[in-house]
Every structure is written in C-alpha cells, then in structure tokens.
Amino acid sequence: MARAYHTQHITPYIHRLTTALIVTTLFDREVMCRRAGSAAFQEHVGRQGGGSSFPHGIEIMTTIDYFAVGNRTNTYLSLSVSVASVARYPEYTEALIDHLVERKVNHWDSVIRELTAKALHNLTIITPEYITNNTLVRLVSGVGSGTMVCQHGCLLSLAQVVHALSAVATRNGLPLRRFIKVWQHLLEEWIVCAAENIRTSSLTALATLWTHYYQHNTTQYNAEWRNQLIHRYIHVIQTTRDEDTCVGYTAALGCLPKFLARGKFDVLLTALLSTTTITNTNTNRPHTNTTTWARTRQQAINSTLALVNTLGINAHADECDAVGVYSLRRIYHTILISLDDYTVDSRGDIGSRVRETALNSLKTLTQAVLQEDPGLISKDTVEDMMCRVCQQAVERINRTRKVAGLTFISLLYSTPQLPHIPCEATLKALFPNDDTSKDMNWASEHTTFPLFIHLIDLPQYRSRVLLGITQAAGGIDAHLTRHTSEALHTYLNGRAS
C-alpha cells in the first residue's frame, strides 16, 4: 500500500491507518504480527513522508522498531507509554486505550488480560480524564457481563485503573467522589456472591475503601452518607428474600470500621441480633421462610463479635458508641439461645454450624470481657453458659463436640478466672489442667463421655447433660450409641452399688 498509492490519495486515511498499525505493533499477541506491523509502519513513514502525513512518524518509528517489539511485555508496559508520551496526540492515546478495552480485556489468554490491566494502569497516568469519563463505565459494565473471561479481565483492569487514579489524585487533586461511588456499588454487587472467596475479598476491599476515603473527612455530607449507608444495609437484611444477599450485607455490617460504627452500635446490634432469630414468618419478607437460613444466623453472630472487637467493651460508655452492660447482656442472651439451633434440612443438621459459631463466640467474648472487667458477667449468665456448653460437649456430632470441649476447658481455666462457675471445684477435679486435658481428644465420645456423665450428679448441669446424652444415644450412629449407652450404664451401675 505504501508503494501503490500517492501521498495525496492516502492522506484521508492516514489516521486510521496509522492507528491500526501502531495498535497491531504494540498489542498483537504474536511476535511476527507485531514485527510485521512495525515494518509496515516504517515503510509508510519512509515512502509517504513523516511530516503532516504521519504525525510524529519518525519518533514513533524509532520507538517501535523491529527489535524493540520482540518482547510482548515490553510493548504492553513500556513502548505503549512511550508512544503515548512521544506523540502527545490524543487520538493515539485514546485509540490505544479503546483497543485494550474492546479487544484485549476479554482476550482468551489470561496473560494478555493481565498485561492489558497493567498497560491501562500506565496509560491512565497519561490521560486520567479520558479514563475517568469514558473507560471506567465500560469496565464496570464488563464486570457484570455473563462471560467469566470478560468479568475477570474487567475486574483486573478496574483494580489497576483505580490504583493509577489514586496516584494521580494524590499528586494533582483529581476529584474521585464520582468514581468512589461507582467502585463501592461494584463491590456491593460482589459481597452477595455465593462463592465465599469472592465474597471475602470484596468485603475486605469494601472496608479498605471506607477507611481510606472517608475516615479523615468529617463533613456533614459524610455523616449523612454514613447514616444512609447503615440504613440501606439494614433494610436489605430485613427485607431480602435471598439468603446470599442477606449473608453478604450482614457480613458488611461486621466490617464497618470504628469511625463508621461509633454512634450507631445500638442500631447495628439490634439489626444483627434480630437476624439470629429462628422464625418462619416475617412481615417484611412475605412468603419467605428463613428458618433454614443457618448461614445468615452464623454470619450475624460473627459480625456482632467483629463489631465488639472494633468498638471495645466499656461499661461506662454510651450504648451507641461501645459495648456497655446492657448490650453485653443482649449479646450473651442471643449467643446462648443460638446453642438451641437444631435446624435440619436436606443437607442435614445445618444448625450445627450456628452452634459451633456460638461456642467459639462465647470463648472469644468471655475472654474479652474478663480482660476488661470480670464483674460485667452475671452469675446467671455464667451458669447458663457453662451448662449449655456441657450439653454440646456430649451431643452426637464429633466436630461440634470438639469445639464445645475446647470452649469448656478454656472457660474453666480462663485467665483472669471466670467467676460464678457452678461446682467449679468438682469440674476441675474431673478435668484437671494437666497434660491429660491438654492432649485430650474432645471429639472422642470414648474419652469424654465417661467424664461428662458425672455431671448428672450436679443439679445445675443435670438437665442439660441429660438432654445432650439423649441426643447422642438416640442417633443413627451405632458406634456413638454404643459408647453413649456404655457410659450411661457404667454411671448408673456405679450409683446402684
């Protein structure tokens, strides 16, 4: 073509031709195509003239010569920036960006997608306005695409572009409020994902976004934004008919940083604790049975403990700012009631996960309270807690018994000492704090049942231990039933003699 046409005939098509050759030379996957593009560009510049025919032709030709384009990583990450910088011709830079977004973000080769994301990061620094006004919307739209390859590529590119815009904003004061809202909306779409790894990563990113962009801004706008955010999240939790959505937004409340949760803890706590209630009717969710939403109840407990850790325990603080005496009483009551979650569906005893989360939460919460002030835990709470933990330690699921046993021994020998433990001396005689207890297999009914069975002698523990033993003895596991029966018969025979 360079040899066949006169300059005056080819001039109307120069820009399109130049752009196509540069794009091919820089971004084609195959090295032979890149070198062919470089040679064609050099031929045109040499025969058609560098001046107005090929803007900045000589500089660009020197940058993308035959040998320079041999390394693909170099063309994507270095030469593309050099061309955009040398040309200082907006159409070139914008054409490079548009090609990457249209053709390379959704490329079948994952290496190309990764290089594209990094190239967009580098080009963003050169033209942040074009990226902000045009490219961001297209990338966000691509994340919602049904094609997994496109979603992956757009998400990678978004991350790189955000990073670049952040650097530009730090240097030049570029306003990013509009973009921050877009990014938050995108993350909120992913916190409801059924895949746990995606949901967890999105929650981490969301918390980081809040902390970085809103922590040091105490304007009235941010106060109103905070109130609207919390209200919106709570509304979703209370009205959604989809469990994944409820789990995601419940988890998001637990990720709130201190500066957002302070002043709203009482509202947050009420919403989270209400989510742990087992009910098959809800006026906000007509025709939706949430009885089997065990994952939601499990996440509500975890989020509550996360907020307790974030705000801290302070008996003298306002209930909206930290965990006070009244809040602590409500939290303990909810966790203890959760130990009665025996929800069963086609998957089996799904309530066991809630019970295990409640057991771990009791251990963590109690340790935090003891560090602050042991007097904050009432006698009734301690008695109920110890009895319910013992019940879980003699039930039928090995995994649950192990969690309960570890919680039991942790509470019995906590530091500082947990006050008001019923029959503390007897418990410590049965479960001494020595190598035997430390090495005990708490999941083994053969090891633990003969010990816990003696708690039937203690009136405070009798009903709960018998309830757990009954659950274990009446199960379908013949091995568990045999050991449970043996432990019970041995105990009764010993009492008869």
Instruction: Evaluate whether residue 111 is within a structural domain.
Output: no
Q: Per-residue pLDDT for 186 more than 70?
A: yes
State yes or no: pLDDT of 8 exceeds 70: no
Q: What is the pTM of this model?
A: 0.77
Residue 467: inside a domain, yes or no?
no
pLDDT at position 350: 93
Least confident of 135-144, 177-186, 383-392: 177-186
φ/ψ (deg, to 5) at 439: -95, 5
Q: What is the pLDDT of residue 90?
A: 67
Which one, of 71, 77, 72, 75, lies nearest residue 60 by Cα?
Answer: 75
Q: Which domain holds residue 21?
A: 1-88
- Whether the predicted pLDDT of 364 surpasses 70: yes
Q: How confident is the model at residue 146 (pLDDT cuts 50, 70, 90)?
A: confident
Give the pLDDT confidence score for residue 251 in this predicted structure: 97
**pLDDT-based confidence at 39, cuts 50/70/90?**
very high
Q: How far is CA 9 from CA 15, 48, 57, 170, 433, in A?
A: 13, 10, 18, 48, 94
Q: Is the pLDDT of residue 133 over 70?
A: yes
Q: Which amino acid belongs to residue 236? A: V
Express each pLDDT in 407-416 by its tens digit.
Answer: 999 999 999 9
Better-scored residue on pLDDT, 449 or 497: 449
Averaged confidence pLDDT in the chain:
87
What's the pLDDT tens digit per position in 10-24?
767 777 888 899 999
Which pLDDT band holds residue 3 (cuts at 50, 70, 90)? low
Q: Is residue 36 part of a domain?
A: yes
Which pLDDT belongs to residue 497? Answer: 60
- Pair 463, 383: CB distance under 8 Å: no
Domain contains 71: yes
* Calpha distance 397→352 (Å, rounded): 8
Torsion angle (degrees, nearest 10) of CA 65, 71, 73, 74? -40
Within-domain flag for 27:
yes
Question: Is residue 23 one of the residues assigned to a domain?
Answer: yes
For residue 164, count other CB atoms closer than 10 A to its CB: 20
Look at the chain and report how many structural domains it folds into. Answer: 1
Q: Residue 237: inside a domain, yes or no?
A: no
pLDDT-based confidence at residue 194 (cuts at 50, 70, 90): confident
Q: If pLDDT is split at 50, 70 and 90, which confidence band does 95 have?
A: very high
- The verdict on residue 38 lying in a domain is yes
Residue-level pLDDT at 43: 85
